[in-house]
Amino acid sequence: MKNPLLVDFSTPFATLPFEQIKTADFLPAIEHEIDATLKEIELICTNPAEPTFENTLEAIEKSGAKLGVISGALFNLNSSETSTELQEITLKAAPLLTKLQNDIRLNAVLFERIKTVFEGNTDALSTEQKTLLEKEYKSFVRNGALLKEEAKITLREIDQQLAKLSLNFGEHVLADTNAFSLHIRNEDELRGLPQSAISMAKQMAEAKNLDGWLFTLDYPSYVPFMTYAENRELRQQMSKAFGQRGFQQNENNNEETILSIVQLKHQRASLLGYESHAAFVLEERMAKDEETVVAFLNDLKEKSYPKAKEEWEEILEYGKDRLGYTEVNKWDTSFISEKIKQERFAFNEEELKPYFSLPKVLKGLFKIVEKLYGLSFEINPKIEVYHPDVLPYEVKKNGKFHAVLYADFHPREGKRNGAWMTSYRSQSKDQRPHISIVCNFSPSTKDTPALLSFNEVTTLFHEFGHALHGMLANTTYGALSGTSVSWDFVELPSQVLENWCYQPEALALFAQHYLTDELIPQSYIEKIVKAGQFQQGLQTLRQLSFGFLDLSWHGKNGPSITSVKEHETRIMQPFQFSEDSPESCMSTAFSHIFQGGYSAGYYSYKWAEVLDADAFELFLENGIFDTKTAQSFHDNILSKGGTEHPMKLYKRFRGKEPNPEALLKRAGLVV
C-alpha cells in the first residue's frame, strides 16, 4: 500500500486524510520529502541562468511544500493527540528536519544566488516581494550563512541538540501533568466546589472505574478547585503538584534540560555575533532590543505596582480577619480573591456559566465574525479529523470556500495543557489555509453541555482571533502569510477580539441560558465589565514577572545561571507578595519559552495589549460592528500577514502610533 501522506489527498479541499494515516507513516514520508526538497534546492543551485527573484526566491519559497504539510501535522499531533509511539517518531524526525534546514541555510551556492538578487536592482519588485527577499536574506545570515565552515558544523550540532531538548521538555511536563490526580472519596472534602466541577470530577472518576471524585492538573479541573475548594490542605496539595511539574526528582525533571537549552541558545547567538539569545531574537521584533523591552516592562511595573500592593493588602486582610489565616500562601490567593469578588460585585463565575454553553458561545462568535468579516461556518462531516472530539468546519466568504477550521476544545491525556492556534496548511496565492484551534475547556457532563467560565470564553475569542489572522490571510507567499509576523505583533488580532466579550451588543449574540435561551441579564453584564478591572494590578504584575523571567533566562547572564530554582526566586520575588514555595518551580513547566516560540518574547503579550487596547478604541468610537472599521482592520492587519513592517500596517489602520494610556485606562490602573 502507498503511504497516504505521499499521495495527493483526494479529500475535501485536500485536507489531511487523518483516518488513513498511521503513526508509522510519518517517518518514511518525512525522509522521502526531505530527499525531494534537497533535489528542488539542487535544481535552484545548478540553474545556469542569472539569479533572479523568480528563479531563486520564488523557487525557494515553493520548495518543500509537501514536507511542510507532513511535518506540520506530526508536530501538531504531538501537541494535541500524542502517544508514546508518536513521541518517539517526533524525536527521530526533529533532528532530520533540523539538519535539512541547516543544509539549506548553510548552502553557500544558494546563499550567493540570494545575495546577488538582494544586492541587485530591486526597483521592479512589489512591496511583498521586497519583504520576502529581505526576510530570506536575513534568515540565511541569521542562520549562519556568513560563518566559516568549522563554525557552521558547530551551529548544526547546537541546532540538533536544541531540537531534541525542546521536545523532551514538553514531554516531561505532559508526563508529570498526567501522573497526578487527587482522588476524593469523602463528600465533605468537596465543600465550596460548584456543582459543575463536582459533576466533571465524578465523570472523570467513573471513566477510570473509581468511586468518588477525581481532580487533575488540567485547567478545567485545576482552576475551579483552586478557586472554590474550602479544604485548604487539599488546595495546597493541588498547588504543590502543579508547581512540581518538571521539578521532581524523577525522569521528568527539567532543571538540567533548561540549563542546557539556555547554554546552547547563548552559544548559538554568540556564534552568530550576538551578545545574547535575546539580542538575536529581538533584532527582528518591533521592540528591537532588550533595553526597549526592559524599559517597557519597567514602565508598566511602576504604574501597576501601587495598585497591586493595595490589592494584596486587601487579600491579606480578608484572609486574616475573615478566614483566620495567620499567613496567606499562593494556594490561598485564588480562593480569597474569588470571595472578595463575590462580595464586591455580587459576582459569582458559576452563576454566569449557564449563560455560556459552548454551543451557544460558538454560534454567537460565528455571528460576530460574520458581521465583522463576512465569514460563515458549517460543519463538514466529510473532512476527516484526528480525534472524534474535533469539529471540522468549512469556512466560506461571500458563499465561496475560504478556509478549513479544526476546533478541538476539551482535555485528553494525549493533549498538552493550555490553548493555541496552529495551521495544517498555510495560505498562499492559489491556496486557502487549513487552521486549527486547540483548547482545554470544561467538558460536558451527563446533565449539561460544556458550560464555560468567563475566562474560557475570553480564551476562545483569543484563539479565534489568531485563527482569523490565518483564515483571512491574503498574501502571495506562504512565508509571509497569516501569523508569519513579528512575534510582538502576532498577539494583536487575538487580544483585540477578546474585547467583544465585554460588550453588551456582542454578549446579546451568545450569552444565552442553555436551558431557557434567556439572554444574560443586564445586571450580570455590568458585573462582567466591572469585574474586568478586578485585581488588574496583581494580574499585570504577574504577567510582567513572566516577561522578566523569560528575559533573564535568555539575556547575556543566562549562561552563568547554575540553579534553576534560586535564579527564578531572585527574579520573581520582587513581583510576588506571598512567600515562595521551595517545592514549586515555574520555569520547569514554562513551555512557552522552552518548548514553544516565545523565548525572549513573552513580553509580547503585554506589548500587544497596548496595541489591542488602542486599536479597539477605534471600534468603540465608530461602533463595535462598524463595517468600515472592520474592513480597515481586515485590509491592513488580518489579510496582510508579514508583508510589511507591523508598525506601518498598524498606523495605516489606526492613523497613528499606539498610545499606552489606552491599556492603563482599560485596566483601571490610571484614571
Q: What is the three-class DSSP state of 393?
A: strand
Domains of the chain by residue range: 12-146, 180-243, 274-329+340-345+536-595, 354-532
SS3 547: helix
Distance, in Å, from the CA atom of 125 to the CA atom of 233, rounded to the nearest integer, reads 66
pLDDT for 671 equals 64
- The answer to whether 140 and 105 have CB atoms below 8 angstroms apart is yes
Which fold would CATH assign to domain 12-146? Glutathione S-transferase Yfyf (Class Pi); Chain A, domain 2 (1.20.1050)
Judge contact between 572 and 549, C-beta under 8 A. Answer: yes
Per-residue pLDDT tens over the stretch 542-598: 999 999 999 999 999 999 999 999 999 999 999 999 888 899 999 999 999 999 889
Distance separating alpha carbons of residues 489 and 156, to the nearest angstrom: 29
Q: pTM here?
A: 0.91
Sequence-distant (6+) residues with CB within 8 A of 198 are 190, 213
- CB within 8 Å of 454: residues ≥ 6 apart: 349, 352, 356, 501, 528
CA distance 605 to 610: 9
Other CB atoms within 10 A of residue 626 CB: 16
SS3 423: strand
Cα torsion 361, 366, 367, 372 to 10°: value is 130
- CB-based contact 381:392 (threshold 8 Å): yes
Q: What residue ranges of the chain have pLDDT lower than 70?
A: 1, 671
Right CATH for 354-532 from 1.10.1370.40, 3.30.70.1400, 3.40.50.410, 3.90.1150.10: 1.10.1370.40
pLDDT tens per residue, range 380-412: 999 999 999 999 999 999 999 999 999 999 999
Helices (H), 289-402: 290-323, 330-345, 349-352, 358-373
Tally Cβ neighbours within 10 Å of residue 209. 6
Task: Spell out the residues 6+ positions from residue 587 whose beta carbon is closer than 8 angstroms to its own.
Answer: 254, 258, 549, 553, 564, 567, 568, 594
Q: What is the DSSP letter of 579?
A: P
Angle in degrees, 0-180, between the axes of helices 330-345 and 219-228, rounded to the nearest 10:
70
Name the amino acid, one letter, at 451.
L
Write the DSSP symbol of residue 407: E
Give the model's pLDDT for residue 293.
96
Rounded Cα distance between 220 and 284, Å, is 36
Confidence at residue 202, expressed as pLDDT on a 0 to 100 scale: 96
Q: What are phi and psi of 288, to 5 degrees?
A: 80, -40
Strand (E) or helix (H) holding 100:
helix 84-105
Is 112 an active-site residue?
no
pLDDT at 440: 95
Catalytic entry in 33, 394, 463, 568: 463
